[in-house]
Structure 1
Amino acid sequence: MPRPRSLTPAQLASAALHVIDHDGLAGLSMRAVAQQVGMSTMALYRYVDDRDELEQHVIDLVLGAVDTNPPAPDTPWPERIEIMANRVRDIVGAHPGVVPLIIAHRHRSTRLLRWSETVVGILTDAGLNGRDRVIGLRCLLAYIVGAIQLEHLGPLAGPGTQAIADLPPTEFPYMSETAGHARTVNADEEFRGGLANLLRGMTSELP
């Protein structure tokens, strides 16, 4: 008879998430998680078949905290989209290492599918349908995922911006000047501003 299970999926996911937060996604392995929970690597296979299933548990844990309920329907649709976007940013931004996993497992995450259903409903209210709605949803997902990665891996407040600002203006006049302004833009302004630009572009396509 197999030994009774003593480790829940949530506990396993928490251990894997700790590894990702501490060592990055590259540090995630069955061995590392087994060490985190205090068991042998082989014993861990009593709970998951492979790393793919382990990653799915991590995504379920992180995205499980995202509120997927529709914002108030009397709120203008761009503001409703902003609310939904910020819900993902607030949760995933605390664990930026999982972003690649979200891309890989998005079609299997019930919570992300529910979030997307709400967003598509808002886009429908705005007048987007068919192919335009497909592109609208993909653009929003691409923006949110990319913005989270940039905010944590290449922030405007980081050394990269300073290095660009120090470029010789005779050779890089636009980049050096732009980087100088970039140092005055905080992460919230960057996210909100980029999202507003994207939504304005969607609005311009509406009949």
Structure 2
Amino acid sequence: MPRPRSLTKSDLGAAALAVIDRDGLSALTMRAVAKELRMATMALYRYVADREELENLVIDVMLADLDVSTPADSPWRDRVTTLLHRMRAAVSAHPATVPLMPRHRERSAATLRWMEAMLAVLTEGGFAGAERVIAQRTLVAFLLGFLQNEHYASINAPATAAIAQLSPDEYPTLTETAAQARKMSVTDEFHGGLAIVLRGLANDS
């Protein structure tokens, strides 16, 4: 296959993301990305060392346009909510990439910019020292957990339906909760869960 005259890291990340979007995360290989770029597999190693570096580029490309600005005069909870919603929207647009987020969140330049913005908002909200560490990690844990739950729940939707059909005599609360879960949108779940987390952080700040 002919080799392109030049490639950028963004070109590689975009090609890798295209492979993931089309064929799933398990399909991401150096060979698949090289094929996407119409180049020889060995030529790809001139640009990246391995799949792990490709994964990192995927995150950077996926979040390249993520806006991390927020109105300085808005309450800190509103600003945190905005940043979390933007990140969730960016990742949810490429659901097969969800498993990459916890793996690369501290190596991707894009996620580091987002984390810096989050910490700046928390600082302006009065968080410092250990409290700021806990607040940031709690919010990130909620986001990552929600993204994974959203991703795998969509794959395993029949499981929730099956739980809702269990014996209500034996599992009264579980069946009631599963039935309610089937009626809720993921956006409602995200709003509700984040509101609970932010209330807890506000009470402790």
Instruction: State the partner residue of 2:74.
Output: 75
User: TM-score, length-normalised on structure 1?
Assistant: 0.90
Sequence identity (%): 49
2:184 maps to 1:185: yes
Structure 2 equivalent of residue 130 of structure 1: 129
Question: For the residues of structure 2 that align with 1:114 and 1:139, how far apart are their CA atoms?
Answer: 18
CA deviations over 1:25-79 (Å, ceiling 9, x no partner): 221111111122222211211221222221221111012121111x112212111
- Offset of 1:156 from its aligned partner? 10
Gaps of 5+ in 1: none
The whole-number CA distance in structure 2 between the counterparts of 1:78 and 1:93 is 22
Equivalent residues in 2 for 1:55-94 (5 A)?
55-69=55-69, 71-94=70-93
User: Could you tell me which residue of structure 1 aligns to residue 94 of structure 2?
Assistant: 95
- Does the 8 Å contact 1:155/1:187 carry over to 2? no
Contact kept in structure 2, 1:96 and 1:149, CA below 8 Å: no
Contact 1:56/1:105 (8 A) holds in 2: yes
Q: Partners of 2:177 and 2:203 in 1: how far apart?
A: 26
Structure 2 length normalisation: TM-score? Answer: 0.91
> Relative to structure 1, is the Cα distance of residues 80 and 99 closer, same or farther in structure 2, using a 3 angstrom cutoff?
same
Q: Tell me, which stretches of 5 or more residues in structure 2 are unaligned?
A: none
1:50 matches 2:54? no
Which has the larger displacement, 194-203 or 96-105?
96-105
Indicate the RMSD between aligned Cα atoms, in angstroms: 2.0
**Residues 88-131 of structure 1, C-alpha deviations (whole Å, 9 max, x = no match):** 01111111222332222222222222211111122122222111
Alignment-mate amino acid for residue 54 of structure 1? L
Q: Is the 8 A contact 2:10 2:61 kept in 1?
A: yes
2:9 counterpart residue number: 9
Structure 1 residue aligned with 2:143: 144
How many Å separate the matches in 2 of 1:80 and 1:165? 37
Aligned partner of 2:200 in structure 1 is: 201
Q: Which residue of 2 aligns with 1:173?
A: 172
Question: Does the 8 Å CA contact 2:99/2:148 hold for their aligned counterparts?
Answer: no
How far does residue 19 in structure 1 lie from its aligned partner after superposition? 1.3
- Match in the other structure for 2:152: 153
Dislocated runs of 4+, deviation >3 Å: none
